[in-house]
Structure 1
Amino acid sequence: MLRVHDWDRAWRTLPLGVLGAVTLIAVADPSAPPYERAVTFATAAAVAVWHWWMVLAHPGWPERAPVPMAVYFAGFLALAWVLSSRHPAYTLLVVAGFPTAFATLPGRHAYLGVAATALVVVGGPAALLDAEDPWPIASALAGGTLAAFIGWSIRTLEGEVGRRRAANQALEDANRELEGANLRLARLGEENAELQGRLLAAARQTGVAGERGRLAREIHDTVAQGLAGIVTQLEAAEEAASDAEAVRRRLAVARNLARESLTEVRRSLDGLRPGPLADSRLPEALSALVSDWSAAHELPAALTVTGTARLLHPEVEVTVYRAVQEALANVARHAQARKAGVTLSYMEDVLVADIRDDGVGFTPSGTGGEDSGAGGFGLTAMRQRVVRLAGSLEVESAPGQGTAVSVTVPAVSAEAGREAT
């Protein structure tokens, strides 16, 4: 199937085919002298070279370069007219100027080429001015009109073919882009599946790490503190071995701590609230905690509640309770304090618990001190609990100046907690 550029090349080669055919006729004509035939052949060769150089050797000029093509077409018509005057067979070469005008001249210049060709066909301007013979004028008008119509039709068809070819090319480009997009989507789907697998694995690892942290905090808040209290009471009983009443009192406290620790372990494993918070509000539970701690360690301690106490989300109350419990445990183990105090402040959007003592203090940025107990896990576990609720924990201390621990958490209401679940 011929393409558009193949047809263009065929039309542009047509004058050479016509020239070769009529030249054979003219050279083979025995009526002309050999010298005349040689001149005719030389002129025909000049036309062939002229057409080859201007059209075939420079395929970018036809229908694109007006000036070179105007020079070419004028020279072509002039040489064709010279040849037609030497032998009548070359009239076909002049007629070939009609399609050549559309094959070489750009745009509307082709119609000027058709008019010029029609003028040469009828014999030049002199024939048109001969009023006695109207045939040249009619022939020029008819031939030029027919050639112009045929040329216009061919260009219209070529334009339509070009538009369809452009549309098909655009469709092919769109299909290629769509295929590329589908391939990219497929790759993205594979990458998303791989990423989802990684996220699930990371989520599982995060869940395992979170559960381990939770269990570590629960064990520290229950077993570790309970065992530490029991050890303290047993050591005190050993030191007071001569005082039977003191020994019995210390052993009773140790027994109660063991029972409470066992209960707390069971509740922690079941994911329930700490025992003191199961049946009472946070201020009452802290009051009991401070009183029991004061009695167990024989140190003065008091709880102060400011603001309007209200029921908060279980996680908030558990976090504050465990923080006070841990801070008091640190005071008992490391502070060597004479007294301690706890302040629970209910504010509009936060709940603050402050734990103070007048003990030996420590340097918060250093090691040891009140955070050295339980393998250094005390304040770390407390901070992890608080940070989980978007809260903050601050420790202020200095050697010989006691310690103040401040825990601040959002005051999320219990109703909000039930709505979230």
Structure 2
Amino acid sequence: MLRVHDWDRAWRTLPLVILGVASLIAVADPAAPPHDRAVTAALAAAVAVWHWWMVLAHPGWPERAPAPMAVYFAGLLALAWVLSSRHPVYGLLVIACFPTAFATLPGRYAYLGVAATTLVVMGGPAALLDSEGPWPVVSALTGAVLAAFIGWSIRALEAEVERRRAANRALEDANLRLARLGEENAELQGRLLAAARRTGVAGERGRLAREIHDTLAQGLAGIVMQLEAAEEAAGDADAVRRRLAVARDLARESLTEVRRSLDGLRPGPLAETKLPEALSALVSGWSAAHELPATLTVTGTARLLHPEVEVTVYRAVQEALANVARHAGAGKTGVTLSYMEDVVVADVRDDGEGFDPCGAGGAGFGLTAMRQRVVRLAGNVAVESAPGQGTAVSVTVPAIPAEAGREATWVSGTADAAACDW
């Protein structure tokens, strides 16, 4: 299928084709003297060189450079008129100037070229003025209008073809861009899936680490403390039996909690009871195990919350009490569970040695695991402590109702560690 520039090349080559055919006929005409045939051949060669140089050798001039093309067309028309006066076959070359005007002259200048060609076809202005009757003038005007219409039609067709080509190019570019976007999206999706897998693995590792810390590690730590206490009280049989019984109970509870954690279930104390009762059992059991006075105070109206919320509060209190037993050296401990309109708050306070939250030992794995749990629920953790002034740990999480079910989604929260980024 011919393209637009192929048609342009064909129209611009047309004068040379007609010139060659006409020259063969004129030179082979035996009626013309040899001298006239030589002059005609020389003029035809001049036309060929003129057309080649101005149009074919400089393809950027047509329809872009009005001045050179005006000079070219005037020269071509003059030489074609001279040749047609020497031999009538060159009248074909004059007629070929009609399409050549639209192929070489830019814009509206092509219609001036058509008018000039019409005058030459009719023998010039003088021939029109000397003609008898209106028919020569009518014929000239009719030929000019017909040539102009044909030229306009050709240009309109070329413009439509070019418009469609531009639309096709734009469509092809859009398709290429869409293909590239598809490849980029596929690559990005692959990266996101890989990142999601890595995040899922890291999250599951963190969950398992927290569960192990909150169950097995704390249970083992409690067992070790009871065994050390029993060793120190070796002379008191009742004290030894009491300590060993506590250690045995801790071991059983730890084993049960490990099994439940691995199964993804709620902690045992929360499986069949409400949070306040579970915390009451936790505090009283902790007090008995460590022989330290501890109290639980519940404020507000207790209500059933989402399992994730209750587990998080329970584990936070459990971790805070474990820290009191291991590090605080406290004489008494108080736990407060506050039900508010939008949040539930658990506070664990002791009168122990305290510590610097911003120091090197301010945040062990226990506090870090607590923070991770709470932040996952869009809650926050606050730790207030100073050497010799005891410690207060406050955990605040949204009071998400139990009706929210498993469809509840968590967002990132904050953790306030006494202005320390732990």
Q: Secondary structure at the match of 2:295?
A: strand
Identify the residue that residue 10 of structure 1 maps to in structure 2: 13
Tell me the residue number matched to 1:218.
Answer: 215
Q: Which residue of 2 aligns with 1:349?
A: 342
In terms of mean alpha carbon deviation, does 113-122 or 261-270 score higher? Answer: 113-122
Deviations along 1:256-313, one digit per CA (max 9) or x if unpaired, are 4422440342144124544444454333443344344444444433333322333333
Conserved in 1, the CA contact under 8 Å of 2:12 and 2:55? no
SS in structure 2 at match of 1:96: helix
Is 2:398 the partner of 1:398? no
Name the structure 2 match of 1:231: 227
Calculate the TM-score normalised by the size of structure 2: 0.75
Q: Distance in 2 between matches of 1:46 and 1:334?
A: 111
The equivalent of 2:402 in structure 1 is 414
Q: Which entry has the higher C-alpha Rg, 1 or 2?
A: 1
Q: What does the per-residue CA deviation read over 1:148-172, in whole Å, with 9 as the maximum and x for residues that have no partner?
A: 5256335524642553365256436
Residues 1:103 and 2:83 aligned together: no
1:353-383 CA-partner distances (Å, limit 9, x unpaired): 22222222233333569x7xxxx54434433
* Structure 1 equivalent of residue 415 of structure 2: none
Give how far 1:199 is off: 3.1
1:174 aligns with 2:171: yes
1:412 alignment partner, SS class: coil
Task: Find the aligned partners of 2:318 and 2:57 in 1 and give their Cα distance.
Answer: 100
Partner deviation per Cα, 1:200-253 (whole Å, 9 max, x = no partner): 3552453244224322322123x2243044225414522xx2xx5xx4145225
- Equivalent position SS for 1:258: helix
Asked if 1:142 corresponds to 2:139, the answer is yes
- Residues 309 and 211 of structure 1: CA distance in aligned 2, closer, same or farther (over 3 Å): same
AA partner of residue 357 (structure 1): D
- What is the total number of aligned residue pairs between the two structures? 400
Equivalents in 2 of 1:92, 1:109: separation in Å? 27
Residue of structure 2 in register with 1:29 after alignment: 32
Gap regions ≥5 residues in structure 2? 410-422
1:335 to 328, 331, 336: 328
Listed as ranges, the gaps of 5+ residues in structure 1 are none
1:213 is aligned with what amino acid? R
Aligned CA-pair RMSD: 4.0
Aligned CA distance change for structure 1 residues 262 and 160 (closer, same or farther; 3 Å): same
Matched position secondary structure for 2:11: helix
Alignment match of 1:252 (pick from 242, 251, 260): 242
CA distance in 1, matches of 2:287, 2:125: 133
SS at match of 1:270: helix
Contact 2:26–2:89, Cα closer than 8 Å, also in 1: no
So what's the TM-score if we normalise by structure 1?
Answer: 0.75
Judge which range, 287-296 or 338-347, deviates more: 287-296
Asked if 1:301 corresponds to 2:294, the answer is yes
CA contact (8 A) 1:302 1:341 kept: yes
- Cα deviation code 1:115-161 (max 9, x no counterpart): 44444444444443446x44xx6345435634652563355246425
State the identity %: 52
Distance 2:122 2:316 in 1: 116
CA distance in 2, matches of 1:65, 1:21: 33
In 1, are the aligned partners of 2:334 and 2:350 still within 8 Å (CA)?
yes
Query: Match for 1:263 among 242, 253, 259?
Result: 253
Question: Using a 3 Å threshold, how does the CA distance of structure 1 residues 210 and 74 change in structure 2: closer, same or farther?
Answer: same
Where do 1:55-204 residues align within 5 Å?
55-81=55-81, 87=86, 89=87, 91-94=88-91, 96-104=93-101, 105-130=105-130, 133-134=132-133, 138-139=135-136, 141-142=138-139, 145-146=142-143, 148-150=145-147, 152-153=149-150, 156-157=153-154, 159-161=156-158, 163-164=160-161, 166-168=163-165, 170-171=167-168, 174-175=171-172, 177-178=174-175, 181-182=178-179, 185-186=182-183, 188-189=185-186, 192-193=189-190, 195-197=192-194, 199-200=196-197, 202-204=199-201
